[in-house]
Chains A and B, each alone.
Chain A
Amino acid sequence: MEHTVAHEEHSGGGVKEIVRVTVILSILTAVELALGFWMMGMPLDSGLRLAVKGAIIILMMAKAFYIVAYFMHLKHELKNMIMTIVVPLALFIWFIIAFLYDGNSFRHLRNTYDPHFKEQSTIKVEKKEEAKHEESKEEKKEEAKPEERKTVE
């Protein structure tokens, strides 16, 4: 029995490890969801909301690590091979920073120099309630219409 366990560890994996990683992934997902629910009540531009988003991204990276390292067995490969996969992916660091920075800068430029763009993003559309009750309104159409006219007059 001792022998087989040692062998499994060497080739990477073993049911024990699979179960452990499954539990970890489930917990990470549950925490992500809990943070998502918590975030719902926060005001749009609060710093805490941003911090929670950051935490969710860190949890996402942790999940990605566990999937790649254990489910895809990358951790148990030779170091040379790991490097040929991981090093090119470092391009993403530049990719993400450069493009998000660019998007953000474009928004600032438009808000500064394009009054139309800025104006468009401040006009609020009539409340959603309108659309929601549209169906029920249709039934009451005949009753509702004269009332509406009265209020307009």
Chain B
Amino acid sequence: MSTATATPGKLWGGGKSPFNVEYGKLMMWYFLMSDAFTFGAFLISYGTVRFSTNGWPDPNEVFRSYPFAPEGAHAPLVFVSIMTFILIISSVTMVLAVHAGHNMDKKKVVVNLILTILGGLAFLGCQAWEWNHLHSEGAWWGHNPFLNHDGTAASTNFTNFFFTITGFHGFHVFSGVIINIIMLIMTLRDVFEKRGHYLMIEKAGLYWHFVDLVWVFVFTCFYLI
């Protein structure tokens, strides 16, 4: 024990954690940082290509439908705003689960994790519907039925980037849901209760918030601007 005690005041003198976080959480942060660069590279390449072409499809013309919409419905931004709110709310329930974990409140952790998983599944369902709808309109990788804003023919860049980036994000949501389900099972089996802390939920929470964070950027870059 005497070797572990550091001289007080020296942050890097050993004996205490300089960042005051556990190893796993720190590594989750660094993973998310690298993931941020991956998504950043995707979005910036999308921006670069968009800046290098004269015309671009109008998102309000492309994303204008919603489930059970009448033929020829024109409701831009409506469906995607629902998706955005679903993801924000599921992020809130996740933060509540992490908070409950701090207080060792197993019941609240379980409830909030279930809500988070449901939110994630709802988002995935929305995305599946949207992909299916766009595909039925003839949009896919390599196919772009939409015209540019000014009425000129568009390249396939638009659909290629849209499906690649939302697909990559959707895959993150999917893996986030899987991670949350694993967390739920572990909580129900009292793994964290026996361990004495719910820090694992915190790491899953970081990942889930990151998924929400990426959606903020994807939503803005593809649907709004």
Binding site for B on A (CB under 8 A): 11, 13-15, 18, 22, 25-26, 29, 32-33, 35-37, 39-40, 44, 53, 56-57, 60, 63-64, 67-68, 71-72, 77-78, 80-81, 84-85, 88-89, 91-92, 95-96, 99-100, 102-104, 106-107, 110-111, 117-118, 120-125, 127-128, 131-132
- Residue pair A107, B26 in contact (C-beta under 8 Å): no
- Residue pair A99, B48 in contact (C-beta under 8 Å): yes
Residue of B nearest to A92 (CB): B40
Complex contacts, A88 vs chain B, CB 8 Å:
33
- Residue pair B76, A40 in contact (C-beta under 8 Å): yes
Determine whether B54 belongs to the interface, using a CB cutoff of 8 Å to chain A: yes
Bound-state Cα–Cα, A13 to B209, Å: 15
Complex contacts, A78 vs chain B, CB 8 Å:
18-20
- Residue pair B153, A123 in contact (C-beta under 8 Å): yes
Q: 1/0 per position for B86-109, CB-CB distance to A under 8 A?
A: 001101101110110010000000
Of B77-85, B182-190, B192-200, the stretch lying at the interface with chain A is B77-85
Bound-state Cα–Cα, A37 to B15, Å: 56
CB distance from B37 to the nearest CB of A (A): 8
Contact of B216 among A44, A60, A85, A91 (CB under 8 A): A60
- Residue pair B52, A103 in contact (C-beta under 8 Å): yes
Complex contacts, B40 vs chain A, CB 8 Å:
92, 95
**Contacts beyond the supplied A72-B206, A78-B19, A121-B55: 5 A-B pairs with Cβ under 8 Å:** A67-B216, A68-B213, A78-B20, A81-B29, A95-B40
- Residue pair A63, B216 in contact (C-beta under 8 Å): yes
Residue of A nearest to B29 (CB): A85
Of B113-121, B128-136, B170-178, B217-225, the stretch lying at the interface with chain A is B217-225
Question: What are some 21 contacts across the A-B interface (CB < 8 A)?
Answer: A13-B99, A13-B102, A15-B96, A18-B95, A35-B224, A57-B220, A67-B216, A71-B94, A72-B206, A77-B21, A91-B37, A92-B40, A95-B40, A103-B48, A104-B52, A118-B54, A120-B152, A121-B53, A123-B152, A123-B153, A132-B72
- Residue pair A128, B147 in contact (C-beta under 8 Å): yes
Determine whether B45 belongs to the interface, using a CB cutoff of 8 Å to chain A: yes
Bound-state Cα–Cα, A71 to B92, Å: 8
Bound-state Cα–Cα, A92 to B37, Å: 8
Determine whether B51 belongs to the interface, using a CB cutoff of 8 Å to chain A: yes
Complex contacts, B94 vs chain A, CB 8 Å:
71
Known A36-B77, A67-B209, A85-B29; judge A100-B44 contact (CB<8 A).
Answer: yes
CB distance from A79 to the nearest CB of B (A): 10
